[in-house]
Amino acid sequence: MANRDFSPHQQKVIKRYYENRDAIDDQRLAELVTNLYLSSGKKQEKMWETAEGIMTRMELPPTRIAHVMESKDPAALAKVVEELQNGKLKKGTAKKKA
């Protein structure tokens, strides 16, 4: 990000955004499930790309992300969201490269 001088108020807003990023990602992924059922064509492809980005940022297991993206089935994504909400699937479980 470029060097910018943010006001104290803007700094607080930015700080709160990043503090709540996990909750925002959870909500966005759940909304994408609904939108994927209702959309088609190029719009749906863009939503799949967004879903992949969110799942990657959440550090879900790469095999799980690959399975969802290969099937491009909203039900598979809905299952991931359900498991995240129930605590069966943990965020940050992807292995990081050294």
| Residue 67 belongs to a domain | yes
pLDDT at 91: 80
| Residue 94 belongs to a domain | no
Cα–Cα–Cα angle for 71, 57, 30, nearest 5°? 60
Mean pLDDT of 57-67: 93
| Residue 63 belongs to a domain | yes
pLDDT at 20 over 70: yes
> Which residue matches tokens 């095999």?
63
What is the DSSP track for 30-54? HHHHHHHHH--HHHHHHHHHHHHHH
pTM of the model: 0.80
Q: What is the dihedral of CA 92, 81, 45, 59, to 10 degrees?
A: 0
CA 46 to mean position of chain CA atoms: 13
| Residue 55 belongs to a domain | yes
pLDDT at 98: 40
| Residue 91 belongs to a domain | no
pLDDT, tens digit (0-9, with 9 covering 90-100), for 86-96:
988 888 766 55
Quote the mean pLDDT of the chain: 89
Q: For residue 46, what are the domain limits?
A: 8-86
| Residue 97 belongs to a domain | no
User: Looking at the 3D structure of the chain, how many domains does it have?
Assistant: 1
| Residue 96 belongs to a domain | no
Mean pLDDT of 37-64: 94
Q: Determine the residue type at 5.
A: D
More confident residue, 68 or 93: 68
| Residue 2 belongs to a domain | no
pLDDT at 87: 85
- Strands (DSSP E) found in 1-98: none
